Amino acid sequence: MRRLGVILVLLLVAVLANIINAWSCALLVAVHEDDPDSPAIAVQSVGNPPEAYFYEMRRAGAFRRVEWEAMEWGALSGGGEVDDPPVVEDARGLPMLSLSCRIHTMSDTADCYAVEVEGGIGIANIHDPATIAPGPGMLPQNPDFYSALVLPCRPMWPGFVINTLIYAAVLWLLLRGLPAVRRAVRAFNGRCTNCGYDLRGTPGTACPECGWGRAAWRSASRA
Ligand SMILES: [Zn+2]
């Protein structure tokens, strides 16, 4: 019963660590198509004609997919106006991507802006659509959607579970490992492995301080 409780607490702490990690990636790892560290790779969906086109950008801890409807992409490549601005899928986490959200955008003649976050929390550069008016002479000069800072909140499968298990395993090893290291150091120095009392020159089989058995210390002192 106690073991089950420890496992549950470990998993809970691991879930929190997972969220903190993904949000740290969201705040610290910038992803932009102009950044040589995260080159935009053009991808298209299956189907003939394809239903959608994407730009995918990947860095350690971050992934962004900018998705256009096929019709708009056709207009774009043909030099026409894009009516429907892209939807941006934003995913974060290490070592696997574990949380994601969608950023809806809106464009004017100057650029394309983040206006709404679906399944996440907008932190910075999320614009009020009312301030972005399409048409010449009305350029808000706001940062484009790439600079939107968002905290994704939707768990991704299987990344969220895998990250949580990895963090729980590391925590467990740390918790198990630290007392074991302390006991080994005490035995090496001829001290009681339980309380650290100096047993050199002390007769008997038990620690006079705490009553702990000396078998471990004896074998260590003979070596
Ligand atoms: Zn002792």
Q: How far is the CA of 199 from the centre of ligand 1 (A)?
A: 8
What's this model's pTM, rounded to 2 decimal places? 0.72
Q: 129 C-alpha to center of ligand 1: Å?
A: 70
Domain encompassing residue 218: 189-223
Q: Are residues 81 and 131 in the same domain?
A: yes
At residue 78, the pLDDT reads 47
Residues 154, 194 within the same domain: no
The predicted structure's pLDDT at residue 219: 52
Buried b or exposed e, range 25-52, using 16+ CB within 10 angstroms: bbeebebeeeeeebebeeeeeeeeeeeb
Assess contact for 7 and 39: CB atoms under 8 A. Answer: no
User: How many angstroms separate the CA atoms of 12 and 167, rounded?
Assistant: 10
Number of domains in the chain: 2
- pLDDT tens for the chain, 223 residues long, are 778 988 899 999 999 999 999 999 999 998 877 777 766 776 666 566 666 677 788 889 999 888 876 554 444 454 444 456 788 999 999 999 999 999 998 877 667 888 899 999 999 888 887 776 655 555 556 678 888 899 999 999 999 999 999 999 998 888 888 888 888 888 888 888 888 888 888 777 788 888 887 555 455 554 4
| Structural tokens at position 33 | 């198509």
Claim to verify: residue 15 and residue 54 sit in the same structural domain: yes
- Do residues 222 and 214 lie in contact, with contact meaning Cβ atoms separated by under 8 Å? no
The Å distance, Cα 214 to ligand 1 centre, comes to 9
Q: What does residue 32 show for φ and ψ, rounded to 5 degrees?
A: -140, 145
Cα 187 to middle of ligand 1, angstroms: 11
Q: Do 202 and 99 share a domain, yes or no?
A: no
What residues contact 14, with CB distance under 8 A and at least 6 apart? 164, 165, 167, 168, 171
For position 200, what pLDDT does the model report?
Answer: 86
Quick one: which of 185, 182, 192 has its CA closest to 215?
192
Q: Are residues 20 and 83 in the same domain?
A: yes
Distance from Cα 155 to the centre of ligand 1, integer Å? 48
pLDDT of res. 188 = 87
Between the CA of 215 and the centroid of ligand 1 the distance, in Å, is 12
What spacing in Å lies between the alpha carbon of 172 and ligand 1's midpoint? 26
Report whether 152 contacts 101 (CB < 8 A). Answer: yes
In-domain check, residue 179? no
Alpha carbon of 3 to ligand 1 centroid (Å): 26
pLDDT at position 134: 57
- For residues 149 and 193, state if they share a domain: no
Q: If you measure from the C-alpha of residue 10 to the centroid of ligand 1, how many angstroms do you get, rounded to a whole number?
A: 30
Ligand 1 center from residue 66 Cα (angstroms): 63
pLDDT at 13: 95
Let me know whether 211 and 115 are in one domain: no
Residue-level pLDDT at 47: 62
Say if residue 10 is in the same domain as residue 116.
yes
131 and 26 part of one domain: yes
CA of 25 to the centre of ligand 1 (A): 46
